[in-house]
Amino acid sequence: MTTVTGLFDHYSDAATAVAQLKAAGVPENDISIVSNNSDGRYEDDDNGAAEGAGTGAGVGAALGGGAGLLTGLGMMAIPGVGPVVAAGWLAATAAGALAGAVVGGAAGGLIGALTDSGVDENDAHVYAEGVRRGGTLVTAKVDDARAGEAEAILQRSNWVDLSERRSTYEKEGWSRFDDASNPYSREEIAAERARYGTRDSSI
């Protein structure tokens, strides 16, 4: 099995990638999504996310749109990132939980979960930093022979070019994700997205 991973500046693009992976035959249990929620877009009392963590509610029921493909949705806090909405195997691994239920905080678990699944550690740090800055991470475990197809799906869905984004971060003096950093605010996330000229495809 190979883990394919994509970072997206907007949740709507990530949701499209998840839907297309599922349509291509990637099993639901092999797909995961972790989305920054520092802007408070997904509120517990509006969408039942907290209840979903315990009951296995579909991510679509809590996040809306076309992402109703994954179970085990929950909200958790990742040090250095802040609040995230997450579902699937990566989220469960990061939270140290079982059976896809996300509870509590993932104390630095995102980097470990990524590297444990085969993601290069340097790439894992860029992915984590991308989520910190407002992004959404999609991961899928696929047969080795289907890795190229899965990567193409993520790329078509407007994924972030990881090498370019790493270079941009490094020009600012960034070297690695630091879980002691302050999470980005709503305003900082908006500025970060504007900087790359990215637009939410859902609007």
**Residue 127 belongs to a domain:** yes
Number of domains making up the chain: 1
**Residue 201 belongs to a domain:** no
Dist. CA 48–CA 133, nearest whole Å: 25
**Residue 202 belongs to a domain:** no
**Residue 203 belongs to a domain:** no
What does the DSSP assignment read for 60-102? HHHH-GGGTT----EEEEETTTEEEEEEEHHHHHHHT-STT--
* 183: Cα separation from own chain's centroid: 15
pLDDT tens per residue, range 144-156: 999 999 999 999 9
Q: What is the rounded average pLDDT of the residues 10-19?
A: 90
* 75 contacts 52 by C-beta, under 8 angstroms: no
pTM: 0.80
**Residue 94 belongs to a domain:** yes
**Residue 78 belongs to a domain:** yes
Domain housing 62: 2-195
pLDDT tens per residue, range 61-98: 444 444 454 555 677 778 888 888 888 877 667 665 32
**Residue 200 belongs to a domain:** no
**Residue 151 belongs to a domain:** yes
Among 50, 2, 11, smallest CA distance to 134 is for: 11
Dist. CA 53–CA 71, nearest whole Å: 9
